[in-house]
Chains A and B, each alone.
Chain A
Amino acid sequence: SQQGEEDPQALSIQEGENATMNCSYKTSINNLQWYRQNSGRGLVHLILIRSNEREKHSGRLRVTLDTSKKSSSLLITASRAADTASYFCATDGSRTGANNLFFGTGTRLTVIP
């Protein structure tokens, strides 16, 4: 079973607008990561935020983490058509000591030119 849930499942916006995706998870974590997946391709790492961090920026990406609510958000500013993809949050198995990642169900983002 998957640890995380993304919300919304699908999001469609106009180019230039901001896109916000949310992720909730169930157990304690060491870090949370966001990945992007273009159709038919593998996942590409976007950003990692540690459990003791609350906000992190990378280019047009802004990630927040609220460990008390077990939630994270990914904001993409000034979206481009090339941002069209599925976005997944992933957490590590801190509680179990597992090394693998637990992925959410993903948000499918469509940016309309």
Chain B
Amino acid sequence: GAGVSQSPRYKVAKRGQDVALRCDPISGHVSLFWYQQALGQGPEFLTYFQNEAQLDKSGLPSDRFFAERPEGSVSTLKIQRTQQEDSAVYLCASSPPGGISYEQYFGPGTRLTVT
């Protein structure tokens, strides 16, 4: 079946603009994660959903970052008033029911460049 998809793949925003990044997880996967990956670094956790419930948002760097998954499938990560330090690849991952022992399936990421 289809894997995790993300759109857009590339986004250039001027500083101060708002952006919205979309993630379509694998059908049936209840867990959804957002990660931020800076150049040359490993992914860092942003937020986690189980179905529509946002259970952990401890990794969101500021209140400019907001994520939602209203129907428990597609998720959107929104960044308001973008800053240059927001430039990174934003990765979405999903995993099936069963808890933390399951591997995560990653999308290709959205590369955000803030100019």
Which positions in A face B, CB cutoff 8 Å? 2, 4, 30-31, 33, 35, 40-45, 48, 50, 88, 90, 92-94, 98-106
Contacts and interface: CB of A to CB of B under 8 A. Distances in A.
Interface string B33-63: 1010000011111001010000110110000
B100 A99 contact: yes
B109 interface: yes
B42 A98 contact: no
Which secondary structure dominates where chain A touches chain B? Answer: strand
A50 to B, nearest CB: 7
14 contacts: A2-B41, A30-B101, A35-B106, A42-B109, A43-B93, A88-B42, A92-B100, A93-B100, A99-B48, A100-B35, A101-B43, A101-B45, A101-B104, A103-B35
Given A45-B103, A98-B45, A101-B45, 6 more contacts: A30-B100, A31-B101, A45-B104, A90-B42, A100-B48, A102-B45
A92 B50 CA distance: 16
Nearest to B44: A2
Interface of B: 4, 31, 33, 35, 41-45, 48, 50, 55-56, 58-59, 91, 93, 99-101, 103-109, 111
B99 A43 contact: no
Contacts of B109: 41-42
B53 to A, nearest CB: 12
Contacts of B93: 43
Given A98-B56, A106-B41, A42 B101 contact: no
A103 to B, nearest CB: 3
A102 B42 CA distance: 9
B91 A42 contact: yes
B79 to A, nearest CB: 19
Contacts of B105: 45
A99 B41 contact: no
Contacts of A2: 41-42, 44
Contacts of B99: 99
